[in-house]
Chain A
Amino acid sequence: MAAHRCGLSLVCILIFSSLAHPSSCDTLEKANDNTAEKRSISEVNTDGSVAGEALNERQWQSTDAEVDRSDSTTHSEALTPAAARDEFQEELVIRPLHSGDIYASFQFRTLWDTDFLQEGQKVSHYRLFPKSLGQVLSKFSVRELHISFTQGFWRTMQWGQPFIPSPPGAELWVWFHDTVSDVDGNWKELTNVLSGIFCASLNFIDLTNTVQPSASFKPLGLGNATDHRFLRYATLPREIVCTENLTPWKKLLPCGSKAGLAVLMKSEKLFHSSFHSQAVHIRPICQDEQCSSKAWELRQTLNVVFDLHTSGQGKKEWSLFKMFSRTLTEACPLASSSKVYVDITDNPEGELFELSPATPLLGQAVVLGDRRTYSVYDLSRAETFGQLRSFNLLLRWKGDSGDMLRPLLHAERYVAGFGLQTGEIHTVIYNNHPYRAFPVLLMDSVPWYLQLYIHTLTVTSKSRDNKPSYIHYQPAKDRHRPHLLEMLIQLPPHSMTEVTVQFERALLKWTEYTPDPNHGFYVGSSVVSALVPSMVAMRTNFTQDQPLFSSFVPVKEESSYFVRVYTEPLLVNLPTPDFSMPYNVICLTCTVVAVGYGSFYNLLTRTFQVDEPSPPLSKRLANLIRRMRGVPLLT
């Protein structure tokens, strides 16, 4: 494999350089693109509804005005204090899924205008940005922090791609500043602090489940860090997410759950769903296109999928009230923008579902390689709330829709074999693109107690050996560090690629078993990262008015977009002693000790003597007489 390493870096850099830099854009291009965008929107509108065109025009005008306003603040920035440029945006995207389920994604973005790159500068002024996180950032010299808590598994085959993917359980990856000398120490402390902030068991992250991926996780914000010594990645697939994690997460919002979209977050409804994921992403970004000033960006996302079957009494109907048992009455007063988007791409004529109240505002965004159309509800406008001063979006399904378009990239994983000695991990990656091949990076982090036989690693596509062009393998050390396996695999078009590796289950020391050893041991999701060929041209420029959900991952090329797919975690049974039989164990040991020790002790301490048969009576009498006479005795 070493031979392949020579060619690896080029491919890797090609793929991930696009992720590494947020684009530094120039104004001219942006302006052009904006007009082009506007034109395309108005075209769509003429196709869709002619009547709404004027209103749409007005909407886009007003967005421009907003941009202008922000420009004007830029000009006056020299005079006002830096805190004035802190900003908060909130949005909710609702996407009706073909299965009848509904996907609701909240995104909250807080910008903190502070110069984070200056070392030793103590920042003590917090306006919108939560102080608890700000202090963590400066204390541990964090460059970028991504943490997600997920309950459930994202069903790619039915739901398509999520806006921001996350694996089941907790996931944490952090880039530290390259000035940090003791990364492991910082990491350890950081996980403990975060564990307190989010009321989660992140303190279970230690060296045995932390890895340093060499290529799969590149910084999403500013900076071109490629030295993975400053990266730490860990997952806790067992972590159970519940209300106790939601409450601290909500407290990070400027409005808390008092106003704005966050009032919808009633935990009894959010956890009455098929999928729940909440995340916090902190990264440095450019404040404007020129990148003249930088800012911290805090993105809080919450994704929920509501299940039609468990919550609809036979009626295929969704409303904000039904989903969240609340309606919206106002935007968060601190928010510069507060919007609700409903994905109506599959419903251009209203034949699939009916949306009320109808909105004249339409928006378009290129998300995950697809151009989507949205109905936009601006909560900062009074007319959105209507006469009743309350906004309750109602979505009524009309007909059954066909199958979902198969996602271009899809992966799954399972353990093959039976018995408690060996097994085989199968990772299956599907490329559903009809004619394009593309490379993916597969990252697997396997705990040390599954001893991988790396010589059995096979990668097959279309029943042919598919040699990975890059393999980075770091073997595990028992009780110290997990296996890390990263591979760059080229997926042929319309194919299924299977990666298999055999393992042996280790016999743990008896104190190393969890309190429920017969439940099994978890192996975290493997991560497939790829630049997937896009159906439409992606927008590579950096604009302010893009909806939040479409602007998380920076786009470098027009022809492809970045996707990360997580597979299922695995539950593996290890050979387990019968802990439920202490009584038997005690009995057995006592018996063994008693029998073994007793007989040995007896044999070792006893003095053996030859037992002389007692002499006959006559001889004894004779000896008696001889003793009296003083002559030698008979023997």
Chain B
Amino acid sequence: MGLLSDPNRRKALTGLLTRLNTPICIVCYLAGIVWFMGLAFEPFTLRTYMSENAMGSTMVEERFSSGERALSLAKEFDAHKRKAGGMPVEWLVKAMQSRGLEVFTQSFSRKLPFPDENKERYMVRGTNVYGILRAPRAPRTEALVITAPCSPGNTNNQAVALLLALAQYFRNQIYWAKDIIFLVNEHDLIGTQAWLEGYHHTNITGMEYSPLQGRAGSIQAALSLELSSDVITSLDLVLEGLNGQLPNLDLANLFYAFCQKLGVLCTIQGKLQRNDWDTAEGYTHAAQTMMLMVLKQACGRSWGDHGLFLRYHIEAASVRGINSFRHYKTDATTIGRLLEGMVRKLNNLLERLHQSYFFYLLPSLSRFVSIGYYMPAFGLLAVILLLRVSFPGLCHCFSVSLQPSSPGVLTVLTPVVISHLTGVALYLLPVHLQEMAVEHFPVSETEAVVLTAIAIYTAGLALPHNTQRLLSGEGTEQGWKVLKLTALLYLAVLLGCTALINFSLGFILAVTLVPITASITPHMPKALYAVVMVLLSPAFTILYCVFIYQELIEAPVSVSEGWMLFLSVISQGILDHALYGSLVYPLLALFIYPCWLMFWNILFWN
């Protein structure tokens, strides 16, 4: 620490930082990007391993054999589903009862803030059916959940049928130490949300539901099953949950271990694993898988039924059967065995899953990047903001502006407040003004909401001129410096907090926001920089993400299709917030966008 206490060297260090500020920032930015891309390179990542002792050493022997019966059950279920025109509640109740479960139902209803055009629903009314397998000689303190959504059409019949077959098989075993809840939920995530809220007796999203009659203590883990064909090529593991939360890595390890044991092809993000890490293709493949995970995590929505469990501290993952045109097929019995093995291992747990990582990225199922490895990539980007704060002129004027007589405080406060008011408008108005918008324009409710949001977003760009009118005097040189200082610190704090909770979101925002915000001053060519700023604004970031995502899942879209997707992503984001409490939309509208507007103000400072 002699470095800091020695005034000479300190001076030299500050001098160096001041003189080389811009080159250091550029180097940091590039290093951050390179570091991030390097995470997908196999030699830099760690091999996954089972941390939990209770699940590690003892392999269970799977004996489930009624896969064929499950398939015939699927046909029966399908017939009853058609007949009932929805979820065949009575049939399910009987089917579960005859398998020796304690069966309960829960009805729920939810009026969406505006119609969901993707899933074509507005007034949602449904019923969840769940059966509890009571573990012998267990005091109802712990439970595991297996859930299968009852989807419209003829999708997911096999999942429900396999669930019932597993229930029947599990019921005849003596070794259960935790109760097992078999849940068939209607209206996918809404049903799961209603059930979870009912189970924990909370109401965070304004759902209406009937109280649950049967409970089984604290839920330790949950598996969601999605299966729409009799045979499958591969099983896909979905981990990304609400707000980018991930289940404990041991759950992924468990799935991977059983896929290896039973010889089932397993994928993550729909991508198989490759062994040729030293070739360019191998690296690209891993990088694509990781990028997909980052994009999915960043958007903060729940990518399967499991995602909603994570809020309640329940480790959960979705297992999705994929049937593509390959020769290699796996039958229902094997999938049943895989699930049996996983559930039995979870049953062996003595404590909640806690040994392994909660923060990680997966370039493939057998490799992971832990928080210690990926955080430096973000850190390198975030440090740019701090370096810019230490830019000499800024520090000095901040101390000046704190003196009460100085006009600086007012000049800074006004744009800050106005930007945030715009943010509040962006957050509140789209949903509340939809009726008015529908009256005046020939659009549907959903379009009205999205277009209002875009309109408010665009209107915010006109703010600098309006702000200037409110200000009494001319914007001073000192004024914009104070504003920039505030905005930089604000952005640094925002991004830092976001990255701690949801690394992907923080990183993506940092990649687009940091370069322009770090370099912005009012003395630049306004037209050029205005265009650049808009192109790097949060909304355009979402647009790029849509295109990149489509590219990565090998379903590239044209510009117009991309635009439509962009619109639906916005409406889904607003819906996710209203229905499940996803925080990405409020974060963007209330914090990131106003922060960006502050920099926009600096550009037009005069």
Contact = CB atoms under 8 A, between A and B. Distances in A.
Interface in A384-410: none
B83 interface: no
Interface in B127-152: 134, 136-142
Interface string A446-470: 0000000000000000000000000
A416 B100 CA distance: 27
A274 B136 contact: yes
A519 B136 contact: no
A569 B141 contact: yes
Contact of A519 (B2, B100, B137, B351): B351
A606 B218 contact: no
Interface in B68-108: 100, 102
A309 B2 contact: no
Interface in B203-231: 215, 217-218
Interface in B307-339: 311-313
Instruction: Find the residue from B100, B134, B139 having the highest chain A CB count within 10 A.
Output: B139
Interface in A543-580: 568-573, 576, 578, 580
B355 A580 contact: yes
A276 B102 CA distance: 20
A284 to B, nearest CB: 32
A571 B142 contact: yes
Contact of A237 (B139, B142, B311, B350): B139
Given A417-B202, A571-B141, A518 B351 contact: yes
A95 interface: no
A539 to B, nearest CB: 34
Q: How large is the interface on A (under 10, 10 to 19, 20 to 34, 35 or more residues)?
A: 35 or more
B497 to A, nearest CB: 18
Nearest to B136: A274
Nearest to A241: B137
Nearest to A152: B137
Given A418-B312, A599-B4, A152 B141 contact: no
A602 B2 contact: yes
Interface in A306-337: 307-311
Contacts, number: 101
B interface majority secondary structure: loop
Nearest to A599: B1
B334 to A, nearest CB: 25
Contact of A580 (B138, B215, B311, B354): B354
A598 B2 CA distance: 9
Contacts of A595: 1
Interface in A515-529: 516-520, 522
A414 B215 contact: yes
Contacts of B110: none
Interface string B347-362: 0001110110000000
A153 interface: yes
Given A274-B134, A415-B218, A518-B351, A153 B139 contact: yes
Interface residues of B, number: 32
A311 B136 CA distance: 12
Contact of B313 (A169, A272, A307, A418): A418
Interface string B223-253: 0000000000000000000000000000000
A466 B137 CA distance: 35
Contact of B100 (A273, A309, A412): A309
B6 to A, nearest CB: 10
Contacts of A570: 141, 217
Contact of B136 (A237, A310, A571): A310
Given A271-B137, A418-B202, A598 B5 contact: no
A586 to B, nearest CB: 15
Contacts of B465: none
Contacts of B202: 416-418
A520 to B, nearest CB: 6
A interface majority secondary structure: mixed
Contacts of A418: 200, 202, 311-313
Interface stretch (B166-174, B482-490, B538-546, B548-556): B166-174
Contacts of A568: 139-141, 217
B164 to A, nearest CB: 15
Instruction: Find the residue from B141, B173, B201, B355 having the highest chain A CB count within 10 A.
Output: B141
B382 to A, nearest CB: 20
Nearest to A416: B201
Interface in A218-275: 237, 271-275
Given A274-B136, A416-B201, A570-B141, A516 B350 contact: yes
Contact of B354 (A169, A417, A426, A518): A518
Nearest to A277: B137
A45 interface: no
A168 interface: yes
A606 B202 CA distance: 60
A158 interface: yes
Given A274-B134, A580-B354, A310 B173 contact: yes
Contacts of A628: none
Nearest to B1: A599
A532 B173 CA distance: 37
Contacts of A237: 139
Nearest to B356: A580
A169 B139 contact: yes
Nearest to A584: B372
B527 to A, nearest CB: 48
Contacts of B140: 153, 168, 568-569
A155 B133 CA distance: 12
A570 B217 CA distance: 7
Nearest to A525: B139
A414 B215 CA distance: 8
A168 B5 CA distance: 64
A152 B139 contact: yes
Nearest to B312: A418
Contacts of A152: 136-139
A520 B5 CA distance: 48
A515 to B, nearest CB: 10
A417 B196 CA distance: 10
A151 B201 CA distance: 28
Interface in A570-614: 570-573, 576, 578, 580, 595, 598-599, 602-603, 606
Given A414-B215, A518-B352, A519-B351, A424 B201 contact: yes
Interface string A508-519: 000000001111
A151 B137 contact: yes
A416 B204 CA distance: 13
Interface in B346-393: 350-352, 354-355
A309 B218 contact: no
Interface in B142-188: 142, 171-174
Contacts of A576: 354
Contact of B218 (A419, A520, A602): A520
A254 to B, nearest CB: 28
B218 A573 contact: yes
Given A276-B137, A603-B5, A571 B217 contact: yes
B53 to A, nearest CB: 11
A573 B200 CA distance: 14
Contacts of A419: 313
Contact of B201 (A274, A308, A310, A417): A417
Nearest to B99: A309
A214 B1 CA distance: 65
19 contacts: A152-B138, A153-B134, A153-B138, A169-B139, A271-B137, A273-B137, A274-B137, A309-B100, A412-B215, A414-B201, A416-B200, A416-B201, A417-B200, A418-B200, A519-B352, A520-B352, A569-B139, A570-B217, A602-B2
**6 closest cross-chain pairs (CB), A and B:** A168-B139, A416-B201, A599-B1, A518-B351, A152-B137, A571-B141
Given A276-B137, A420-B313, A580-B354, 16 more contacts: A152-B137, A169-B139, A237-B139, A273-B137, A274-B136, A275-B137, A308-B100, A309-B172, A412-B215, A416-B202, A424-B201, A517-B351, A520-B218, A571-B217, A572-B218, A598-B1
